[in-house]
Structure 1
Amino acid sequence: MAVLHHACAVPLARAAARSRSLSAVAAPAMMAGVSVPSKARESRVLIGMSEPELQQLALEFGQEKYRGKQLYHLLYQRKVKDIGDFSHLPQVFRNNLQEAGWRVGRSPIYHTVKAADGTVKLLIKLEDNRLIETVGIPVEDENGSVRLTACVSSQVGCPLKCSFCATGKGGFSRNLLSHEIVEQVLAIEEIFKHRVTNVVFMGMGEPMLNMKSVLEAHRCLNKDINIGQRMITISTVGVPNTIRRLASHKLQSTLAVSLHAPNQKLRESIVPSAKSYPLDALMKDCQDYFHQTSRRVSFEYALLAGVNDAEEHAIELAKLLREWARGSHVNLIPFNPIDGSDYRRPYKKAVLAFANALESHKVTVSVRKTRGLDAAAACGQLRNEFQKNPLVVDESEEMEFQPQAAVSC
């Protein structure tokens, strides 16, 4: 705006069933050279498959089981992007995979923008030519080690149309498939030549409206790419019934709820979807989430000058949290203007006064440091710019362009 021990892992029985179903199509295709229908091709993606599934896939293609383990290593350790480059595998196996419509599931990086602070924003061009954004945020600690956070998208656009968000202004196209989420993390690792240590589902889209793919990607990021469960955060603005569903998976990740207002009336003016999800109901679900998972919910609060940034708003927010979520953490996000928005960034004095008011009422608070200001890092902003002014370029070319105002991911 996020991890899964094994609750969403595809059971081995399902993996076998999946492989049996592919044999009906794949085997004739291999033996007779019959082309695989495009719909079948769309589902034949290796990224996101577990090691047992890949071993079963190898068996279905007449290979030894250990070839699946090699596939797993090529995908998740060596991060090879094309089946043709699987040099450790027999040529006949590679050919058969390709003829049956299988592919790795990595999309080209269409455009790259680098900020002075090291933040990198990518536009990734999907198979259907749609563009999604992902952001890499490096932070170096006192010991010189680097924490690299990938801020990933879960949808192409967003249907919720929060009034301050650039993504909603760009419209909604579709949900992302699980491999299209995972590949964003791999793309950030490729650009930085450094492993991603943290993942936040805070990019384009509402993760809770695409929970199936988010949880599948979540499993892969944790189990296959080895990102710690507590190093992943799922953000939501609030969708009825979905927090309960998420709680049932008993994740050890962080749930971050975007509040942006301390009362229902103000929240509806900022977040139109709040009309269908009263604030008390949302907070009750957050309370239940904590009781089921023992993981406290984090709350995001975008500060909009003259709208929700007064000290009385902070006091009202503290009261709300005391009632429903004692001990919770609030992450304050000072707004930066985006094209077409009338909202303004609050003065630093107002931000500090808001934070102090929360702290005086025993609420833990942090102010998010703006990153990628000169890389159009606001969710949806760079994509919107390219939709208005598409470039005809070599997709592998890395380009620079004049920066625009933005909020950090």
Structure 2
Amino acid sequence: MQKIDFKSLSLEEMKQLFLKIGEKEYRGEQTFNFIHKNMVDSISKITVLPKDTRDKLEKNYTIGNISVLERYDSKIDDTKKYLFLLEDGNIIESVAMKYSYGTSACISTQVGCKMGCVFCASTKEGLVRNLTSSEILSEVYNIQKDLNLKLSNIVLMGSGEPLDNYDNVINFLKLLHDEKGQNFGYRNITLSTCGLVPKIYKLADEKIPITLSISLHSPFDEDRKRMMPIGKKYRVEEILKACYYYVEKTNRRITFEYTLINGENDRREDLEELARILGGLLCHVNLICLNPIEEFNKTKAKEDKIQEFKNRLNQKGISTTIRREMGSDINAACGQLRRKYIKGL
């Protein structure tokens, strides 16, 4: 029988579990608090519980964990990239990036990805499996323990499509936010999606005030289809309609990720159409320089084109910034390091 992972249980589930096994309800709250505040990785370390209780729990319960397989430190900036080994032998990656306001982590939600975006390394081997909410939490906890700090921001923008692992991701968000645990602010969490429209509506109805980030990369359906297979299922117009609904429900500004590719989506008509479709929407555009991968023989847009996009969109009243390239010397772009490591085995 597979052991139940304490790290995936909500506070209420933990209290009910302790009652079920003949313990006091407050012991469940004690355990939840201790696990998440202290980020412990085994039941034997829950020292607020008597030893005989811990021994009893270890027969049927566990605390899932992942281990640091490799850590790569950038010589250019303070970026650190982690390869994590899961208990079943799979490998995922996360990135910690230091900014003036604190340290932000970009974490994965799946082993691999099935979305097939042509310029993304994490999707080339397809989807292996979803991460559990415990495993996603373990990325955060391992980084915090390794760097001896509390992260200021978390971005679900690593390997995988978060909304394709909806239930585990929502559970992760609620566990991380719980005031009896890490008490991590929702407003400091960003979730990036390639545009799973029904799940955007579902997320909006949760009324969890995280930042929603849409990987757009083209305002034209036909061009977007070539870059992002999800474009064959959901049109740009449908995504924007879902975004308006999200803003209405959460009062949160949407971020649009736009990777500028030379000769592909950096033309004047791309710029003008992007400004047109985003006009009137509470949003921000994050322009991204392309990270080259072997299977995609395109190059990033020229500097003057990037600046033109930024200036023109700002002139049109659409808040726009250029994302700073970080950790380029350690393959910090999503999926690159995992693939390199696996190929080298």
Percent identity over paired residues: 35
Please report how far the alpha carbon of residue 200 of structure 1 lies from its aligned counterpart in structure 2 after TM superposition: 1.0
**Deviations 1:352-386 (CA, angstroms, capped at 9, x unpaired):** 11211212222110110011112211111111111
Q: Which residue of 2 aligns with 1:23?
A: none
Aligned mate of 2:331, from 354, 376, 385: 376
Aligned-partner Cα distance in 2 for 1:279–1:228: 30
Aligned-partner Cα distance in 1 for 2:108–2:44: 28
Alignment pair present for 1:293 and 2:224:
no
* C-alpha contact 1:235 1:257 (8 A) present in aligned 2: yes
Q: Which residue of 2 aligns with 1:73?
A: 33
AA aligned opposite 1:220: L
**Deviations 1:199-245 (CA, angstroms, capped at 9, x unpaired):** 11101111111111110001011113211111111111111311111
Compute the TM-score of the two structures, normalised by the length of structure 2: 0.94
Q: Which residue of 1 aligns with 2:223?
A: 266
Aligned-partner Cα distance in 2 for 1:295–1:284: 15
3-state SS of the aligned residue for 1:365? strand
Aligned-partner Cα distance in 1 for 2:163–2:45: 36
Alignment pair present for 1:174 and 2:124:
no
Aligned-partner Cα distance in 2 for 1:304–1:208: 25
Q: Which residue of 1 aligns with 2:84?
A: 124
* C-alpha contact 2:80 2:95 (8 A) present in aligned 1: yes
Aligned-partner Cα distance in 1 for 2:207–2:29: 29
* C-alpha contact 1:178 1:217 (8 A) present in aligned 2: yes
Aligned-partner Cα distance in 2 for 1:291–1:61: 44
Q: Which residue of 1 aligns with 2:68?
A: 109
Compute the TM-score of the two structures, normalised by the length of structure 1: 0.80
Aligned-partner Cα distance in 1 for 2:319–2:47: 52
Query: Size of the alignment, in residue pairs?
Result: 342
Aligned-partner Cα distance in 2 for 1:293–1:299: 17
Aligned-partner Cα distance in 2 for 1:336–1:203: 14
Q: Comparing both chains, which one has the higher relative contact order based on Cα–Cα distances under 8 Å and sequence gaps of 6 or more? A: 1
CA RMSD of aligned residues (A): 1.6
In structure 2, relative to structure 1, the CA distance for the partners of 1:302 and 1:105 (3 Å cut) is same
3-state SS of the aligned residue for 2:8? coil
Aligned-partner Cα distance in 1 for 2:215–2:250: 19
Q: Unmatched 5+ residue regions in structure 2?
A: none
Please report how far the alpha carbon of residue 186 of structure 1 lies from its aligned counterpart in structure 2 after TM superposition: 0.6
Task: Indicate the structure with greater strand content.
Answer: 2
Aligned-partner Cα distance in 2 for 1:162–1:124: 23
Aligned mate of 1:58, from 7, 10, 18: 18
Alignment pair present for 1:190 and 2:145:
yes
Aligned mate of 2:295, from 340, 345, 352: 340
Aligned-partner Cα distance in 2 for 1:81–1:358: 47
* C-alpha contact 1:61 1:96 (8 A) present in aligned 2: no
Alignment pair present for 1:97 and 2:57:
yes
**Deviations 1:102-132 (CA, angstroms, capped at 9, x unpaired):** 1111111111111121111111111211111
